[in-house]
Amino acid sequence: MTIYEGLPRAIPEDVGISTSRLERIAPIMQGYVDNGKIPCALTMIARKGKLVHFEKFGMQDIAAAKPVECNTIFRIYSMTKPITSVAVMMLYEEGHFQLSTPVSEFVPAFKDMKVYTEDGSAIVDAEREVTIKHLLTHTAGLIYESDREDHPIDQQYEDADLYGGDLANMIQKLGSIPLLHHPGDAWKYGMSTDVLGYLVGIVSGMPLETFLKTRILEPLGMKDTGFSVPVKNADRYSKVYEFGENGELQAIEKVHAATGPLSFFHSGGGGLQSTAPDYLRFCQMVLNGGELDGVRLLGKKTVELITMDHISNSWQPNQRTGSGFGLGFAVVTDVAETHTLGSVGTCAWGGMASTTFWIDPVEELIGVFMTQLVGADSPFHAQFRVLTYQTLI
């Protein structure tokens, strides 16, 4: 049976990659598995549109001794965000709105928003409306959690039970909670892309799931990506792990935002499940300027806009020094400040279960890393990136 790899293979040297240097990756990744630091890993590298590295390590189900496979399906969590952001920009290109359009024009719950004062002691009127660009850049004032243990906004998010109903219910509740800061005044990672997912449904006239499937996933050939996993593919669905009290890997039985054993909340911010080959195809479409295999989702200039920095130099997205933020992706602005190898303009993001990707337009290079580990530091991300760049010749 032919293994689905997402992109055509190339001899590494034909695209400027050293075969012998690629061999440095396996022992390092296998070491993380053998030392109990990760349950599994899939590592993929593509250059100039061709796959040059695809290796697998460890188990997708440790208790069952089931190895991870090339077609293993992973919970990609926040790697959903770039896909949802592309959906928004497709609608932008069609003329439905401008980036400066207030979200309240489509989502009335976001009209007349309230904002917490800086110390959290009072609530005031928002100085300006939340715009679509605020949501794309995570500058709207929506959060996952604040940076203060005693801030009242955290309790409001918890009490709202945002995943307790459908997407419309989530958005209605978000609109009733004051923002952490005035729109456009700071960068704070949060539920902005969930609002964008709802916006996609309102503007397009079809559910988010249907829009993503018919306009992005199916056209790109991302056959194993969606908010649920078909029962026939259940044996390909990885367990997700965390560290127990004694530092051992243990499977999580109740997975965050799962609506069933094979399905997730239809969240534009974190609901998709995917495979490494599928996500590689999405990355290649971005690297190609919005097109893959004759299918064009976005125009070249739109992709340029998406992948440029849109935030203040003083705001560091999730403590990523040397990086700014585009329209759905972190973007490298100063390679030296990142303390690793790379190029200016590289866009990237990751997911809660330690999945990650990056797209380097200078080197025409893509890296995809998949595992399933929640609540842990991810030194293997930086190490995989270094191991990737050192292969360039």
pLDDT tens, residue by residue, 312-347: 887 877 667 899 999 999 999 999 999 999 999 999
Q: Report how far residue 354's alpha carbon sits from residue 238's, in angstroms, rounded to the nearest whole number.
A: 13
pLDDT (tens digit per residue) in 291-302: 999 999 999 999
Handedness of CA 115, 120, 123, 125 (dihedral sign): negative
C-beta of residue 365 within 8 angstroms of C-beta of residue 384: no
| Confidence class for position 16, pLDDT limits 50, 70, 90 | very high
- Give residue-wise pLDDT tens across range 208-243: 999 999 999 999 999 999 999 999 999 999 999 999
- pLDDT at residue 235 in the model: 97
DSSP assignment, residue 323? Answer: E
The closest of 370, 391, 320 to 56, measured between CA atoms, is: 370
Spatial distance between the Cα atoms of 201 and 19, rounded to a whole number of angstroms: 45
Q: Tell me the DSSP string of 144-188.
A: SS-SSTT-HHHHHHHHHTTTSS-HHHHHHHHHHSPBSS-TTS---
Question: Could you tell me where the DSSP H helices lie in the chain?
Answer: 19-22, 25-34, 80-93, 132-136, 152-160, 167-176, 192-204, 208-211, 276-287, 300-306, 335-338, 379-389
Closest by CA to 52, choosing from 81, 82, 16, is 16
CATH class of 12-76+228-264+275-306+351-389: alpha beta
Chain segment 196-212, per-residue pLDDT in tens = 999 999 999 999 999 99
pLDDT for 319 equals 66
Residue 247 buriedness (CB in 10 A; 0-12 / 13-18 / 19+): exposed
Q: Is the pLDDT of residue 166 over 70?
A: yes
**Tokens read off for 180:** 């952490």
Q: What is the mean pLDDT of the chain?
A: 96
Identify residue 361 by its one-letter amino acid code.
Answer: P
Averaged pLDDT for residues 75-98: 98
pLDDT reading at 1 higher than 60: no
Indicate the class that CATH gives domain 85-208. alpha beta
Q: Per-residue pLDDT tens for 108-148?
A: 999 999 999 988 999 999 999 999 999 999 999 999 999 88
Task: Assess whether the region 12-76+228-264+275-306+351-389 and the region 85-208 belong to the same CATH fold.
Answer: yes
- Over residues 246-275, the pLDDT tens digits come to 999 999 999 999 999 999 999 999 999 999
Q: Has residue 98 got a pLDDT over 60?
A: yes
Extents of the domains making up the chain: 12-76+228-264+275-306+351-389, 85-208
